[in-house]
Amino acid sequence: MKEIAQKLLDNAGVRINGNNSWDIQVADERFYERVLSGGSLALGESYMDGWWDCGAIDQFIERILKARLDKKIKLSWCLIWDVFKTKLINQQRKSKARAIGERHYDLGNDLFQNMLDKRMVYSCAYWKDAKNLDEAQERKLDLICRKLKLESGMSILDIGCGWGSLAKFAAEKYGVKTVGITVSKEQKVLADKLCEGLNIEIKLQDYRDIKEKFDRIVSVGMFEHVGPKNYRKYMRVVNECLKNNGLFLLHTIGGESSKSLIDPWINKYIFPNAVLPSVEQIVRASEKKFVLEDWHNFGQDYDKTLMAWRKRFRDSWEIIKNRGNYSERFFRMWNYYLLSCAGSFRSHKIQLWQIVFSKVGSATHYESIR
C-alpha cells in the first residue's frame, strides 16, 4: 500500500517521510490503506488521529490538488451514498437551517474572538494596500460599502450577518440602518452587544422568512449554506425584498464546477450541508430576476486570510483551549481546516467572488469599484 501511495504522491512532488516542508511524515502504517480507500475524508480524519503530520499542510494540499490527486482516488460507498442523498433530499431545507449555526458558529465566541480580526469578520479579507489582518478586513468592508454605493439614511439587509461587523461598519462610516439576520444564537448575543447604540437590528431568522423592503441587500459568506435546490428560491426572496432601483451584493466562495455537496471532511467536521456554488448555478438562479453588474474574483486573498487566522489561532491556543475546554484533537481538526482551505485557494481549486446585481428593469447605471 505504501508503494501505491508513493506512486500517486510522486505526481505532486510529495515524498513520504521526505525532507521538504510539504512532505508527509507517516506515524502509522495503517494510514495508506485508510486513505486509499477513504479519500479526503480519511486523509483529514487520519491527521486528526495523529497518524501523519506535515511541516506545511497548506503546501501539501496545494500540491495534491494541482496534481488532481483527488480525482485519482476512487469514491467510497459512504461518499457515493452522500451524493445520492443530495440528489433526493433538500439538505438545506428550512427545518435544517440552524444546523450550521449550532455545529459551527455556536462553537464559542472566545474561539472566534481570538482567531479573527478586531471587528470579527469571518470571511475573506481584501489585502490590497493592507499591512495586516485588521486593515485588510476594514478594506473589505469598505469595498462592499462602496460597491453598494451606500448613502446616509439607506436601509440595508445583511443576510448572514455574523457578529454584525459589516452592519456596524456601515452604520459608523455611512450612516445607514441595517437589519442583520443569522441562524446562530451565539452570534446574535455578541452582535447585539457589539452593535449596541447603533441603528442596527439583529434577528435570529431564516432568509426565507424575510418580508421587508430594503434599499440594499448584502450577503457575505452565507450563500455557501443555501444549497443548489434553494438557489432559485434565495434569489426570489432577495428580489422581492429589494427596492426597484436597489443593489444586491453577493460575496461567496465558488467552485470550479457544479456540485451538490462539499468536500466530505469539511462537511462532516466544519460546515455541515455546505455546498460551493458554481458560476453556472449562480447565473441560472439569478436569471430573469437580476442584471449582473459586476463580478470580482480575489480568491488569492482568502489564502492570505486563512494563513493569518491560523497564526492567530495557533498563537492563542492556550487561551482558546482553557476557555472553551477544547481538546488536542480539536486543535488538529481546526489546524487542518484552516491550512487545507488555504491550500485549496492557492491551487485555484476554489475561488472568492463578489458579485453585484441590480433588478431587471431598474434604472441603475453601475460603475465597477475596485
Q: 353 pairs with which residues across the strands? A: 252, 297
CB burial of 11-46 (b: ≥16 within 10 Å; e: otherwise) equals ebebebeeeeebbbebeeeebbebbeebbbbbbbbb
Q: Cα–Cα distances in Å, from 172 out to 118, 150, 176, 247?
A: 15, 12, 8, 20
Query: b or e along 51-72 (b: 16 or more beta carbons within 10 Å of the residue's beta carbon)?
Result: bbebebbbbbbbbbbbbebeee
CA–CA dist 9, 63 (Å, integer): 9
341 is catalytic: yes
Name the β-bridge partners of 218. 158, 249
Cα atoms found within 13 Å of the Cα of residue 340, Cβ hemisphere only: 19
Q: Which is catalytic among the residues 124, 145, 161, 341?
A: 341
Angle ∠(58,187,197) on CA atoms, nearest 5: 125
Active site residues: 341
